[in-house]
Each structure stands twice: as structure tokens, then as C-alpha cells.
């Protein structure tokens, strides 16, 4: 059953809490830079649009997607951020490399979330080809960077509400 393509990044702007006073770390892979650059721009612009200040957003680049785990872990341990967004793009090739990178990165980021210090947002595109990646990096299907930023804002807000409820 075929479905019509639509922008998956559409959201109700009014439903997003203010990002004012929130601090974000963004770890972004240099590999497939044309895609990760667009994802980064989407995330950055969305954070600003919802009230984050530029000085409260720190962007660090790493060589590839696998290194997002290390960078995200260091950002979490720095205690400088309320949330970390990990942005990368892996495109399937002819070897099992794709599977290992995707699995290792996914598991590493999941482990950081399980630790529960701050939310680590999964912004890793895992695509069969470059066309799929481009469609999700500002193309016909929206920009997953936008979605990651919205998720980060909502998760920080969620954590703050839990902190208040626990008092």
C-alpha cells in the first residue's frame, strides 16, 4: 500500500515549550557533510526559533557517526548542557560496515539515555541511498534536524517538570 509523501517535520508550533534558558550541545558528524550540515542548520534554527540563545548552543564536529557516541558522552559528562543532539548520516554501501556503524552508534546513544543524566537525542539518519538522506535533510520529507531540536526542547521541559513534581 503506497502512501503519499509529506513533510514529516510539520508540527504545531504552539505545542512546543519555550527553549529560553535551555542549553544544548550538538555533536555532528562531518561524514556526508552535505546532509549533516543541513540537519545541523535545521536543528540550530529551530532551537533559536523557540527561544534558545545562540550562546546557549554549542556545536562540536566529529569525523564520523560512530564518534557521535564519544562526543555525546563527553558533552553529557561536562554538565554544561540540558540536552545533547547527536546528528549523523550513514548511507548503505556494499559491505556490512553500514550495519556495524548504525548498530554501534544506536546502542551507544541508547546507553547514554539509559544513564538518565540528560536526554541525548538520536539524530542519525540510516538510509539506503543518498536520495533518501537528502529527502530527510530539508527535502520533501522535511528536516530531521528540526525534529531533533523539538524533541530536545520537549525532553528538557519534561525533565524539569519531573524535577518540580519530585519536590
Catalytic residues: 97
CA distance 158 to 139: 30
Cβ contact 58:80 at 8 Å = yes
10 Å CB burial of residue 13 (0-12, 13-18, 19+) is exposed
CB 21 within 8 A of CB 160: no
DSSP tag of 72: H
User: Burial of 6 by CB count in 10 Å (0-12 exposed, 13-18 middle, 19+ buried)?
Assistant: exposed
Reported in sequence order, the residue ranges of 103-143 that DSSP labels E, i.e. its strands, are 120-127, 137-139, 142-143
Beta-ladder partners of 139: 142
Amino acid at each position: 500500500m503506497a502512501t503519499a509523501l509529506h513533510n514529516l517535520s510539520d508540527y504545531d508550533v504552539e505545542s512546543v515549550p519555550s527553549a529560553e534558558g535551555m542549553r544544548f550541545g550538538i555533536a555532528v558528524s562531518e561524514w556526508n557533510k552535505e546532509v549533516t550540515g543541513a540537519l545541523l542548520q535545521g536543528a540550530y534554527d529551530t532551537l533559536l526559533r523557540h527561544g534558545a540563545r545562540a550562546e546557549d548552543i554549542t556545536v562540536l564536529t566529529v569525523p564520523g557517526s560512530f564518534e557521535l557516541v564519544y562526543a555525546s558522552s563527553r558533552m553529557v559528562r561536562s554538565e554544561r548542557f540540558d540536552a545533547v543532539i547527536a546528528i549523523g548520516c550513514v548511507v548503505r554501501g556494499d559491505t556490512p560496515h553500514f550495519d556495524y556503524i548504525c548498530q554501534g552508534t544506536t546502542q551507544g546513544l541508547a546507553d547514554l539515555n539509559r544513564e538518565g543524566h540528560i536526554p541525548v537525542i538520536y539524530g542519525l539518519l540510516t538510509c539506503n541511498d543518498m536520495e533518501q538522506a537528502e529527502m530527510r535533510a530539508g527535502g520533501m520529507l522535511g528536516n530531521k534536524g528540526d525534529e531533533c531540536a523539538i524533541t530536545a526542547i520537549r525532553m528538557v521541559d519534561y525533565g524539569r517538570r519531573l524535577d518540580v513534581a519530585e519536590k
